[in-house]
Structure 1
Amino acid sequence: MAHLSPLIGVGLIVPIIIYFLKRDESDFAAFHAKEAINFHLSTLLAVLISIPLIIVFGLGLLTMLGVAVGSVIYGVIAAVRALDGEWYEYPYTLRLVK
């Protein structure tokens, strides 16, 4: 659920709630919630960087599209891996939450 939350429009809220509810109960759930938080923060940062690129170079639309497509693809991959019981780490992600 934490990995797919942006697809239903709740972004960071669901992974944060899952992390705080499950961090003492399940290392696996806490790990995936932290991964989702870090990934969503990284994509948010990429979008914020893309906004000035739209204004200055017109290039930001391409980066925003890439971030959007990558977010969906990697989110689905992470959700499937979590359902399979794997400890999946997102590529291209800043580890802001330890």
Structure 2
Amino acid sequence: MKNYIPTQKHWKDMFAQYSFYTVLEKFPIQQIKRKKLRNDTNLNDVLYMLTHFDKDAWMPVTLDKEYCLVDGQHRLAVADQMRLEYVDVAILLDDRYKSS
């Protein structure tokens, strides 16, 4: 079983063009801190993403500098269901958008 699905270059470039992001490839999922986000994870959305998985639409999840999840809870839930061990991440370096 595959433990990592890399994101396409254009998704990484989308984040990398800004100085307030650092893109890391093959980041260990177990290091991601999951705090309750404003939006709950909708299991129907996760199921849809699993059954209609498209590797071209697979984009990095966003973390703050402490590796707390900022955006991508559904993608991370899909990664969990797929038993992935690694995902690509975009680290948000700007403290104004820190996960709380």
TM-score range, shorter chain: under 0.3
Q: Name which one, 1 or 2, has greater alpha-carbon Rg.
A: 1
TM-score after normalising by structure 2: 0.23
RCO higher in structure (CA 8 A, sep ≥6): 2
TM-score (norm 1): 0.23
- Determine which structure has the larger helix proportion and give its number: 1
